[in-house]
Structure 1
């Protein structure tokens, strides 16, 4: 069967979704900020403003113990000045922003009106309806600062997110970020804008997350030199990245890093939008669809495109569904790239057989059922069932058989297995769109498989599993009870 060919098509990056609030970072160094309030919460806000470099004037007629302690201790940056009196209309002169902490709703509104009349933006604690801006949870690795907002809906959720980010970011990141500021001019002076600079900063970032000690000047100069040498027209590279079965949570950290550093992403039809959302927004996206029995880009065209882009000095990510090395034609692409002298590397992904086991909570090599696992393709170059499969082993009952791209050949698969002695009652399963929200499954016996796959959504990627490990839970319980009885 001859499949029509199509050309690679450029895809638009996904449109940015609606933002509840625009996250911005406000430079308060040397600016005046005013704060009115007595509580411990107001004291924390005062310390936060001062930490950002503001000179904070605190108006508190009855300051809390926390407020007194924070003022007595002083600020790491900026300054804290306590004025033990109520706020008044004249306090907003020359202020960059104002914060008020009031129990009374009417006072909060009056504070906001007075601030706005002076052209000052205002926040009233726990009263979002009278706020021009909101505070969020903060991860402080200054000069790296991460702000987290839930638009006031769930502050505890924001704090939980902060704790998880804190665990991912080493405390030494602050030193690395400071180092980045110190060497920025040197990097800009020696490296050209675009791929050269990005290549350096990617290497710098990888080092920051791997090593606790900061790189010395000699190491920085060596990295700059390597980026210069690799920055020419032949300095591109290709990374084959496994996108997994669809669920973006199944991507490896290394895969996300590759997507974040890509100049161009060549992706297959089966790659989910959720995975593409994790890519660098500036990266050019091109669909080079490869689907069995569908109009697809010719492999030669994809190879030529990868080589051409890499020769322009670009980092090309070839994003493949599942694992690139399992029925993903990675071998052909690697061979073409290596012959052309283009650096190529591989980032593994979760293959569909693993997603099948995950979805079913079944071990594919349970020692009571199977001593081997066979992953085979149901789709040859000619679009038919391959004639090189060891059907005798597959039908022996000692192996779990997982068939990729086999739905169209389900009848031929059953015939081959039956011919080699597999019983028609052998458990079988077919699953469509594994790990995605639209995941669907059929379970039954081998003889019912050809009809079973037709009950799954048309056009969805389908994986077939055959073997005793796929017996239904009720059957497994009954079989175990029978074995114990005898």
Structure 2
């Protein structure tokens, strides 16, 4: 038996072998160091030293800078003239010496030569003070990472000195995700924390509060007195009714590519307890969701329902009444052929709070993929989004084909793959020329996207070649005459289609 084993409990070594390691190898340990009122010994007068001095003083440090006056650069002189809320920078007009390290929490230097860097490093280390020599990794016991500042929220990024420019690129990405108003929300969190800790039991109730609070921080403007009152009221609501935190967010997942997801949509996914997602939502998008969130496929494609709309509505209400944050994740934009109106009405009847996060609709991705404007001023005065099938899977009976057969409009048919031959026939029968350009895309904005261009008269054959069972989007109108051959993938012209068809259509539409 292992020395650490206890009768009745699993052997320690066996248990360790069975449980996966929770943290992978770390090149450095990210530690946030409180420098308020702490002394930092610093040497150097260049721009690098100026930035570090400003950073340290902003963190509340008392910076003692040792550098002869003639060695101070213009940037350092500017920093020395600044005032800081908690920290300060004091200039000592002399070189550093061994005595400067006494009582210092950190030592930082900007040295021109390796010999100077080594001397400073050895002196600080001998005094037991953690040391950093700027841009000299060999003489650094700690490093300054790239920072995203929403204090008291602070994000530090390190590449362990391997690629500082990469660290800056990562910072820019994170900057876009963290609104500037986050500072105010973090301060509000500190104000209400005591009441939350006192009135809400640890576990689901506290988590419900902080999840809602975090959601507000990312979706509302800077907090005001009303925001604080709302937060305290929500605490009382949770005490009175633990299920009060339930809500639903309808989120547009965009056409498929994860990078086309909005920042607000990502934030909703990362705050979700339950995600009800459509069949067309990609795995890459689901990977952006909170890991602990329950995921349920309620996929629907054309007339083949894998889950009835009534069942989806009921599921949303049940989870929300249990205090969960439900995200209803729909392909494209929730307000375009997504049946969101029925879901909103049901949630309102049940008294469930509901929010909507719009997404990029597939028609926009179609235009981007083909490199056209849907409202080219010389070729289209309007854009129409039209459903390509009814509840029965056929074309709707009440479609006004005479109105749709307008060569001054761009018409986008959603979910019209199986009805493509009839769409073509009906438009031509009501006066739209068979030569009218069409653009067809399957699995738009995904890795397996297929595009094709041609004539309205050939629409059925084009869709048949692409695959009628795939998610198909059809564009009809003169704006598609400008499509270049380079944007068409995975389609061979139908037999008998003249070479250079795209160019001929473009000339006709000009």
From the superposition, tell whether residues 25 and 289 of structure 1 become closer, same or farther in structure 2 (CA, over 3 Å): farther
Shift of 1:275: 4.2
Which residue in 2 is equivalent to 1:470?
A: 480
Task: Report Cα offsets for 1:388-444 as digits up to 9, x if no partner.
Answer: 444444345454332222224433433444454544322111123334465442111
Which residue in 1 is equivalent to 2:46?
A: 39
For residues 176 and 92 of structure 1, the distance between their equivalents in structure 2, rounded to whole angstroms, comes to: 39
RMSD: 4.3
Q: Could you say what secondary structure the match of 2:56 adopts?
A: helix
Which residue in 2 is equivalent to 1:224?
A: 232
Unpaired runs of at least 5, structure 2: 1-21, 484-502
Alignment of 1:26-425 (within 5 A): 26-60=33-67, 63-65=71-73, 67=76, 70=79, 76-80=85-89, 82=91, 84-86=94-96, 88=98, 95-108=104-117, 111-112=120-121, 121-128=130-137, 130-138=139-147, 140-147=149-156, 153-155=163-165, 158=168, 165=175, 174=183, 177-191=186-200, 192-200=205-213, 202-203=215-216, 209-210=221-222, 214-215=224-225, 220-221=228-229, 223-229=231-237, 232-248=242-258, 250-252=260-262, 254-273=264-283, 275-276=285-286, 279-280=289-290, 283-292=293-302, 296-366=306-376, 368-370=378-380, 372-395=382-405, 397=407, 399-425=409-435
Task: Report Cα offsets for 1:202-230 as digits up to 9, x if no partner.
Answer: 446655x256xx427xx634541244226
Query: Alignment length, in residue pairs?
Result: 460
1:433 pairs with 443, 449, 456, which one?
443
The structure, 1 or 2, with the larger RCO (C-alpha pairs under 8 Å, 6+ apart) is 1
For residues 505 and 24 of structure 2, the distance between their equivalents in structure 1, rounded to whole angstroms, comes to: 47
Shift of 1:321: 0.8
For residues 321 and 113 of structure 1, the distance between their equivalents in structure 2, rounded to whole angstroms, comes to: 60
Query: Contact conserved, 2:182 with 2:218, CA < 8 A, in 1?
Result: no
Q: Could you say what secondary structure the match of 1:325 adopts?
A: coil
Shift of 1:233: 1.9
Shift of 1:370: 4.6
| TM-score, scaled relative to structure 1 | 0.76
From the superposition, tell whether residues 239 and 166 of structure 1 become closer, same or farther in structure 2 (CA, over 3 Å): closer
Q: Could you say what secondary structure the match of 1:407 adopts?
A: coil
Shift of 1:253: 5.4
For residues 32 and 295 of structure 2, the distance between their equivalents in structure 1, rounded to whole angstroms, comes to: 30
Query: Contact conserved, 1:187 with 1:197, CA < 8 A, in 2?
Result: no
For residues 80 and 406 of structure 2, the distance between their equivalents in structure 1, rounded to whole angstroms, comes to: 79
Q: Could you say what secondary structure the match of 1:199 adopts?
A: helix
| TM-score, scaled relative to structure 2 | 0.73
For residues 289 and 420 of structure 1, the distance between their equivalents in structure 2, rounded to whole angstroms, comes to: 35
Query: Contact conserved, 1:136 with 1:158, CA < 8 A, in 2?
Result: no
For residues 109 and 457 of structure 1, the distance between their equivalents in structure 2, rounded to whole angstroms, comes to: 69
Unpaired runs of at least 5, structure 1: 1-14, 482-486
Query: Contact conserved, 2:109 with 2:120, CA < 8 A, in 1?
Result: yes
